[in-house]
Amino acid sequence: MEAAVIAAVVMVMILLQPAEDKVVLLPGADGQQTGMVVVKTATGEKVLDRPYAAADVSRQGTIKAHQESAESVRQRFGETLAAQPQRPVSYIVYFRTSSDELTPESLAVVEKLKADLQVRKAPEIVAIGHTDRVGSVGENDVLSLKRAETMRGILVAAGIAAASVEVAGRGEREPQVVTADEVAEARNRRVEINVR
């Protein structure tokens, strides 16, 4: 009796296994090539190096490479594709000299950022503050962190959970534009906001 049950379970497991595995290389955000995938089995290998290049791998390890269309991939994998997280994005906002006050031009960037965050289900945000080289290293460390915390405050006021916004200050260590010490540079007075 036990042998019959075990045989039945094994038979069901075999029947439930897919007849083949499928690998499809998806395009990048711009619809272009993103890299390549090598599908390798004991019987051979195939390189997928174009958007929607695909390979079917049989139970025996045979690989059949072919080209899918965007539409066929959407039809077959639509639910899976819809469940993917949105692609990461980055924003940069700039600040007035020796201040944690945003420049007027950066206010539009903040509005765009807030709109983007409204459509993301559970965003994870990192705000990294920077300064130019005017002032001491210690003062710039404090100011860069204050700028990042200012951005966190703006995002929390817009409805983002504070726990979702990580902040860091880099001071004058990672300039966008390299300058001598004590040189003011507007492009270095910034916060980089990375959203995923």
pLDDT digits (tens, 9 = 90+) for 69-98: 999 999 999 898 888 888 899 999 999 999
CA-closest candidate to residue 118, choices 28, 195, 192, 193: 195
pLDDT tens digit string along 96-130? 999 999 999 999 999 999 999 999 988 999 999 99
Whole-structure pTM value: 0.69
Mean pLDDT value across the chain: 89
Contacts of 164 (CB under 8 A, 6+ apart): 122, 123, 124, 125
pLDDT tens digit string along 22-32? 999 888 877 78
Taking the C-alpha atoms of residue 132 and residue 153, their distance in angstroms, rounded to an integer, is 22
Q: How many CB atoms lie within 10 A of CB 48?
A: 20
- Rounded mean pLDDT, 142-155: 98
Residue 78's region, left for phi above 0, alpha for psi from -120 to 50, else beta, is alpha
Residue 5 pLDDT grade (very low, low, confident, very high; cuts 50, 70, 90): very low
The three-class DSSP label of residue 156 is helix
